[in-house]
Structure 1
Amino acid sequence: MDLTTIKDPSFLKKLNNEELEVLANSIRKFLIEKLSITGGHLGANLGVVELTLALHKCFNSPTDKLIFDVGHQSYIHKIVTGRANQFESIRQYKGMSGFPKRAESEHDVWESGHSSTSLSAAMGMTIARDLKGENDFIVPIIGDGAFTGGMAFEALNNIGHEQKNIIVILNDNEMSIANNVGALHNALGRMRSADKYNKAKEELDWILKKIPTVGGKLANAVERIKDSMKQLMIPSMFFEEFGFTYYGPVDGHDFHALQENIQYAKKTEGPVLIHIITRKGKGYHPAESDDKDKWHGVGPYKIESGEKISPPNIAPLWSAVVSRTLEKIAETNNKLTVITPAMVLGSKLENFQKNYPDRLFDVGIAEQHATTMAAGVATQGMKPFLAIYSTFLQRAYDQILHDVCRQKLNVVFGIDRAGLVGADGETHQGLFDISFLRSMPNMVLMMPKDENECQHMVYTALVYNEGPIAIRYPRGNALGVTMDESLTTVPIGTWEIIKKGTDAVILTFGTTIRMAIEASEMLANVGVSVRVINARFIKPLDELMLLDIFAGELPILTIEEAILSGGFGSAILEFAETHNYSAKYIKRMGIKDEFIEHGSVELILEQIGLTKQVVIREVQKLLPTKQQRV
């Protein structure tokens, strides 16, 4: 069928299993073709085609609430709720989001970019349902990787205690953004062997029926034996002890088994968990055979071979620069340990893991645990490096403040994906870390202008012993500059003058330095001399340089690819107030009080006014006597 003609999921109720199989194949072909052009989260979606169709067939969305945990597996949901004709624009500027979006459709009842939130949201919706006297089904769909998040266990505990009617779908594909780790992952692995128990039970029942005149005593004894077998072979008791009725494991690609177990769950009182086994990447060989999960999120690719299509770029990825530097330092520094919350692949730590397997710890999707664990490591005189995305660092705010900064522990935070990240949109933009870290006592925060300065900052952080220190670095490729052979320290709290100037000063760092240089060069053509400073330490500020700037009464423009509230520009205004300088000629450029949606970084920068043309205009406003146009 033509998927673009689908308006809502009600048509699924009329399809038999054979017709559903045909539809599933059509959806897989559609996704493989469309995402080969736009990129997106292919592997996760190919794995949940049958599951999503079965859920929409058995439930009545949006009256029944389907809540996707980490919504990058919601593409099939978007197709059957009438959005197939928007896939050319998925994750593109002003196009369809790659995650559930309440503004897009009434069927998107929960917006999810970070993991482990669906069970808590489901409990909230269930409370509201019951208070309103309604009887719709609340159905969170959560992956085995997301179950490693502490928030999921908090919700599981509460749901089991309250005994509310919730049907939890556990989508178990043995992976999240990387291979899952931990005791729960191992327990789920044992649960996957439940079919062996079921077959053994059936065989035992058959044998007993063949024995005449056994009577009730042996039958009761056998029931006890079967219960013991179940506890030995299937640790489903884990969920049952939480108060859940457990169904599974269920083949997530078998329509009959899926619908049968969902119907059982709908008739069961209290919380239910259906354990469903799926194959990530199913139906597309390059993705299905990917044991490193490089098909979790992809750019454009060639359908026939799976070869990725990417522009030639000799510059290394920022995260690779950091990882290689860590490897280099680890050769001589045996105190270095690396911790990451399921980001070995994302933060390019595979080689470090290979070379130093005893010194890299992947804790799964558990950012709070990772942070406090790093604090514990630091108390013992070791030097932990926590590699974490900016957007995920937000989840560990209290642990950074309470466990790391308050105790002034020597934890190094490698903040990957700092700044705009593009296609993943507002849940993943790394725009808030400056604001919340800058307010924390004892924290040092820096960002390099290029990969050479980056390697020196990593080294600086690892020899710094005065408390926590954080390095921000952006997504994507670095600049391709020449790298120094030996590593040296960058003096804490020092800036550098990149371009001299006498009329005004631009203070900026990281990704916006190039923009500032280009703007200053264009201003120089009309007689405006602008000093450009690499304000590489966001905290502490270079107070000596600032005092010199204010003494010369030079207008200041601050630029940051981050939220303005509480950011770097705010720090400059605070410095001016503290030292009784006028803030009249200080102007801040950055991101206003809003969330930034998905799209290419270039288009977003244009939209929010972070361009060299705007820089030129703002500098000229600060210099009313030099209003020549560029």
Structure 2
Amino acid sequence: MLERIGSPADLQALTPAELDELAAEIRGFLVDTVSRTGGHLGPNLGVVELTMGIHRVFESPRDSIVFDTGHQSYVHKLLTGRQDFSTLRKRGGLAGYPSREESDHDIVENSHASTAVSWAAGIARGHTLRGEEDRCTVAVIGDGALTGGMAWEALNGLAGSRDRVVIVVNDNGRSYAPTIGGLARKLDGIRVDRRYESFLGWGKRTFAGRGRFRNFAYRSVMHGKRALKGLLQEPSIFADLGLKYVGPVDGHNIAHIEHALAQARDYGEPVIVHVLTEKGRGYTPAEQHVADRFHAVGKIHPETGLPIEPSRFGWTSVFADEIVKVAEERPDVVALTAAMLAPVGLQPLADRYPSRVIDVGIAEQHAVTSAAGLAFAGMHPVVAVYATFLNRAFDQVLMDVALHGAGVTFMLDRAGITGDDGPSHNGMWDMALLRHVPGLRLAAPRDEPSLRRAFREALDVSDAPTVVRYPKGAVAAPLPAVRSVGDLDVLASYGGDASVVVMGLGSMAGTAVSVAEKLAAEGLDVLAASATWVHPVPGGLLELISGAELVVTVEDGLTDAGIGEEWAAFARLAGARAQWSHHGVPREFLQHASRAQVIDRIGLDPSAIADTALAALARD
């Protein structure tokens, strides 16, 4: 069946039985392929029928379909002619999120959540202004992404408009973990209402017999005291904004989905279609794994869902262990995250001290400002998020935390180059952005001992924001200092007084040691060094580089305006004469590939850095 689908148009001629067969085949395809490549399995298993229904009712790409977030777009890729998943999220293969380079059917590449309704509002208004009233715009947003404030700003802006927007709320009760907050409780009330099944049956008959959504809305009101009226009035959270609402709809019944979407499409104004789906549907290991329904997986055994290669002890695990130890000692420590309790390592703390962990949903701005409030109230909040997601709350870090001298610690997981998740997930912007925040102190630990130590030192700062950043994946072997110069640790030294000093920040400390080894093999006197606290400029820098001809900095953040450039500017102002060579991430969006492949492409491998250093010395 799947081989017969080259475009969404090929879905139109399929019978109901064939549609069910195709849905089953798609699920089998996803389990088979994603288990070999890794990727977002659970979300896509849950939207098979929903995506098929969307593509049968709407005419993509003339009708724009925006996914929020893009990790639920695998089925969309399959139905739009992209069926080679053998290199999913690998260099040169399919991206793990929508990609305009891949298809005209893809609109939004950014996989940061809660943005789709704003995109849809802008696209739809553009169509209206151009006189293209026959085009419709669809935003597919999960109930988890509706916890983000930006989504509600967009819904508020859509209220009262006459643009053709259909907002599909894919309600599976989960983001990474169960969706939290007042919205989740509101949707829960609809999802478990015993009147739901009778509504589905009545709705099908109504849709079949009426050609306009206006009639559907009118009849729901005119049913007076009947149970249906109560059910349709339940989502007052949408009605109070002036938005039409349809639902809830069984997200695994294609006929019901099509009826609801067709009525919403033809209404001609913004409509919310509330669809109930089950994350991980049709895959037994996912259905039995309550924790995350196999949200994202590495390579797994498809029969059992067990990983082929068990993950090694990683940076996240170190933080998870240390914050529990700290919480036992300090009752003032409280943690916050944005819908990523397990991924950032806060689940053990939540299990031990549930009242001291706050999951705000996909709302990083709220997390940061409420952390400032907690600090004012005498607590020491720890905000744990992926580095890429703190970009969304930069203003709050600057104006709510730093301006008010709040003692808030930010633990930035997945900092630096992450690789296969693609451009929106590389945590490469944080150091260049955050070093401009007055009073902020930033640490980039290089190994497990320095991470544990940096975290505790950050918690001792009560009058300014502190940031500790660390990469994705396994922790490197410990890199003990052979000696220290001020706040800098010398990791390796070759020869006498060093003519070359190689500085490795954070996870790049090991690279600095390898570069030093290569330069020493060329007969140079060289040392490799690192600092745990990299901003402000660490004490001892001028002393360490006093006799050097060349200072090389290596960081996995932006080279422009990065930490290396900050150190060099400081040294030059102090009269240091050494030349500097900076190595980091270029100011560009990095396409998906493995971390090693990205490092090789941008010249952050030891051989390339050593060659550049030798060339600089030769020119001098």
Do the two structures share a fold, i.e. TM-score over 0.5? yes
Show the counterpart of 1:426: 423
Partner residue in 2 for 1:267:
266
Asked if structure 2 preserves the Cα contact closer than 8 Å seen for 1:426 and 1:596, the reply is yes
Contact 2:195 2:231 in 1 (8 A): no
Contact 2:223–2:229, Cα closer than 8 Å, also in 1: no
2 CA distance for matches of 1:456 and 1:195?
53
Match of 2:610 in 1: 616
CA distance in 2, matches of 1:200, 1:564: 58
Provide the residue aligned with 1:487 in structure 2: none
Deviations 1:201-242 (A, max 9, x none): 999xxxxxxxxxxxxxxx999954348x84478522221221
| 3-state SS, counterpart of residue 29 of structure 1 | helix
Q: Which residue of 2 aligns with 1:511?
A: 507
Q: State the match for 1:373 in structure 2.
A: 370
Match of 1:564 among 542, 556, 559: 559
368-377 vs 569-578, greater mean Cα deviation: 569-578
Using the alignment, how far apart are the partners of 2:514 and 2:319 within structure 1? 27
Query: SS at 1:247's partner residue?
Result: strand
Identity across matched positions, percent: 37
2-structure distance, mates of 1:248, 1:233: 7
Q: Could you tell me whether the CA contact under 8 Å between 1:100 and 1:108 is conserved in 2?
A: yes
Which residue of structure 1 aligns with residue 583 of structure 2? 589
Q: Counterpart in 2 of 1:526?
A: 522
**CA contact 1:421–1:429 (8 Å) conserved in 2:** yes
Equivalent positions of 1:115-514 (< 5 A) are 115-134=113-132, 135-194=134-193, 196=195, 199=198, 223-226=223-226, 230-231=229-230, 235-293=234-292, 295-310=294-309, 313=312, 316-481=313-478, 494-500=487-493, 502-514=498-510
**Cα separation, 1, equivalents of 2:240 and 2:154:** 14
The separation in 1 between residues aligned to 2:173 and 2:516, in whole angstroms, is 52
Shift of 1:564: 1.1
Q: CA deviation at 1:312?
A: 6.5
- Is 1:110 aligned to 2:105, yes or no? no
C-alpha deviations, 1:230-262, integer Å up to 9, x for none?
447852222122111111100001011111111
TM-score normalised over the length of structure 2: 0.92
- TM-score norm. by structure 1 comes to 0.91
Tell me which amino acid in the other structure corresponds to 2:514. Answer: E
Q: Aligned partner of 2:513: which letter?
A: I
CA distance in 2, matches of 1:541, 1:190: 54
Distance 2:71 2:167 in 1: 18
Aligned residue for 1:102, secondary structure, equals coil
1:548 Cα deviation from its structure 2 partner: 1.8
Aligned to 1:216: none
Offset of 1:343 from its aligned partner?
1.2
Structure-2 separation of matches of 1:11 and 1:516: 55
Tell me, what secondary structure is at the counterpart of 1:532? strand
CA distance in 1, matches of 2:505, 2:49: 48
> 2:164–2:269: 8 Å Cα contact kept in structure 1?
yes
Q: Are the structure 2 counterparts of residues 625 and 243 from structure 1 closer, same or farther at C-alpha, using a change threshold of 3 Å?
A: closer
Residues 190 and 234 of structure 1 are in contact (CA less than 8 Å); yes or no, is this contact kept in structure 2?
Answer: no
Instruction: Judge conservation of contact 1:249–1:274 (CA < 8 Å) in 2.
Output: yes
Q: Are the counterparts in 2 of residues 194 and 234 from structure 1 also a CA contact under 8 Å?
A: no
Q: For structure 1, list consecutive stretches of 5 or more residues without a partner in the other structure.
A: 204-218, 484-490
Describe the SS at the equivalent of 2:83: helix
Between the aligned partners of 2:508 and 2:128, the Cα distance in structure 1 is: 51
- Structure 1 window deviating more from structure 2 (493-502 vs 615-624): it is 493-502
Task: Give the conservation status (yes or no) of the 8 Å contact 2:542–2:571.
Answer: no
CA distance in 1, matches of 2:257, 2:467: 47
Give SS of 2:290's match.
coil
- The 1:557/1:221 distance shift into structure 2, 3 A limit, reads closer
The aligned amino acid for 2:564 is G
Tell me how far apart the structure 2 counterparts of residues 442 and 221 of structure 1 sit (CA, whole Å): 57
Residue identity opposite 1:477 in structure 2: A
Structure 1 CA distance for aligned equivalents of residues 45 and 509 of structure 2: 41
Q: What's the CA shift for 1:481? A: 4.2
Q: Deviations over 1:149-176 (max 9, x none)?
A: 0000000000013242211111000001
- Aligned equivalents of 1:27 and 1:390: distance in 2? 34
| Amino acid aligned to 1:362 | D
Distance 2:387 2:143 in 1: 23
The one-letter amino acid paired with 2:107 is: V
CA distance in 2, matches of 1:194, 1:15: 33
Q: For 1:496, give the aligned amino acid.
A: D
Give the direction of change, closer, same or farther, for the CA distance of 1:518–1:294 in structure 2 (3 Å limit): farther
The number of residues matched between the two structures is: 597
2:502 is paired with a residue of what secondary structure? strand
Cα distance in 1 for partners of 2:359, 2:556 equals 29
8 Å CA contact retained: 1:341, 1:364 = yes
Summarize deviations over 1:39-73 as a string: whole Å, max 9, x none.
11000000000000111111110001111011011
In 2, Cα distance between equivalents of 1:508 and 1:480 = 15
Deviation at residue 89 of structure 1 after TM alignment:
1.0
Q: Residue 518 of structure 2 contacts residue 607 of structure 2 at CA under 8 Å; is this kept in 1?
A: no
Deviation track 1:21-41 (CA, whole Å, cap 9, x = no partner) reads: 011111111111101110110
Cα distance 1:582–1:75, how it changes in 2: closer, same or farther (>3 A)?
A: same
Q: Deviations over 1:531-555 (max 9, x none)?
A: 1111222211124x22224532431
CA distance in 2, matches of 1:246, 1:254: 19
CA contact (8 A) 1:191 1:233 kept: no
Residues 194 and 233 of structure 1 are in contact (CA less than 8 Å); yes or no, is this contact kept in structure 2? no
- State the one-letter code of the partner of 1:465: S
Residues 197 and 234, structure 1, Cα contact 8 Å, conserved in 2: no
In structure 2, distance between residues paired with 1:317 and 1:239: 42
Residues 62-116 of structure 1, C-alpha deviations (whole Å, 9 max, x = no match): 001111011011001100111102x101100121101000111000022231100
Q: Which residue type is aligned with residue 59 of structure 1?
A: F
Give SS of 1:111's match. Answer: coil
Distance in 2 of aligned mates of 1:437 and 1:140:
33
Distance 1:139 1:470 in 2: 38
Superposed displacement of residue 582, structure 1: 4.4
Q: Deviations over 1:438-466 (max 9, x none)?
A: 01101000111101111111111112223
The aligned counterpart of 1:539 is: 535
Is 1:548 the counterpart of 2:546? The answer is no
Q: CA deviation at 1:498?
A: 1.4
RMSD: 2.4
Contact 2:384–2:412 (CA under 8 A) maintained in structure 1 = yes
Alpha-carbon distance between aligned partners in 2 of 1:528 and 1:604, rounded to the nearest angstrom: 29
**Cα deviation, residue 198, structure 1:** 7.1
